[in-house]
Amino acid sequence: MLFNRLLAAVPALFIAMGAHAQANWPTKPVTLVVPFAAGGPTDVVARSLGASMSKTLGQTVVVENKLGAGGTVGATYVAKQAAPDGYTFFIHHNGMATSTALYRKLAYDPLKDFEYVTQAVDVPMTLLARKDFPARDLKELIAYVKANKDKVNLATAGLGAVSQLCGLMLQRALDVNLTEVPFQGTAPAMNALLGGQVDILCDQTTQTIPQIKAGNVKFYGVTTKSRIKALPDAPTLHEQGLKDFEVVVWHGIYAPKGTPRPIVDRMNAAVRAALKDPDVMKRMADLGAEIVPDAKLTSEGLQTWLKSEIDRWGPVIRASGKFAD
């Protein structure tokens, strides 16, 4: 009889232990996986947020870079290997949505294999050319590209990078097919542009603002519908005639599927607090990154947005024929 009573009490004991662990979370450092190289745009955003979240959580937020295959290596790790115990989270940009069309064999389902924490910041893109490129403004750029489409090349940060997506949209808008020159990240692509080895690049303000302000590149506009605070005098491509041209690098934070909801909610609160931290706000402003409105800072908002981005980019990518095995 005593044994049966003890056996019956075991499930309740484990439930109580789990509730206690969640209530005291975190009791050790929290890892934030970045699926790209250290020093890159997403890494910069992650480290800025992590430093502030550490103060809110009372534990260090450690950024761990697991790069490769357009961000899918890091995503696969979090989806398939990381424990859903609240000590591993994941930050990714638009690649979370485009991977479903870019990769025929994806080891995870972005809509089913994660818990959604929140969106965080948006980073506008800018359209650039090498400093000695003939076109002085967007109108001349469009005319030159159409007249020389077999000679003009387009640098990208690799398959699935937002720079490539932006380039695909540009080619689609101008009805041309340019030679794409892929690099292993945005830094080498920018170095090639600065060195005059490639013609055109679409890249994030986190990397391009210093080069634009220094006059090291030709600058044709930003890819948002409205002008941005970091470059208030810069016209958008939309207002210059490329109607509805909009590409923004958005960042979402995820957890392994099965991570307890109370922990997801507390992480959401930590991100919200970080986005109101004056140091983080200044850092994001300096980079041209824009903090998303409160209405987007929800688990449900991120899930809805991800689905809409999958629906948006899938047809564009499939029509281009650019995807990986």
Report the pLDDT averaged over residues 3-17: 52
Encode pLDDT of 108-167 as tens digits: 999 999 999 999 999 999 999 999 999 999 999 999 999 999 999 999 988 778 899 999
The pLDDT of residue 140: 98
Give the three-state DSSP class for 125. Answer: strand
The pLDDT of residue 10: 47
Q: What percent of the chain has pLDDT over 70?
A: 92
The pLDDT of residue 126: 97
Q: List the beta bridge partners of residue 91.
A: 253
DSSP 65-102: E---GGGHHHHHHHHHTS-SSSSEEEEE-THHHHHHHH
pLDDT category at 8 given cuts 50, 70, 90 is low
Cβ-in-10-Å burial (0-12, 13-18, 19+) of 229 comes to: exposed
The pLDDT of residue 320: 80
Which range, 153-162, 182-191, 254-263, 282-291, is most confident?
Answer: 254-263
Q: What is the pTM of this model?
A: 0.84
The pLDDT of residue 17: 46
pLDDT category at 316 given cuts 50, 70, 90 is confident
Q: pLDDT: is 14 or 85 the higher one?
A: 85
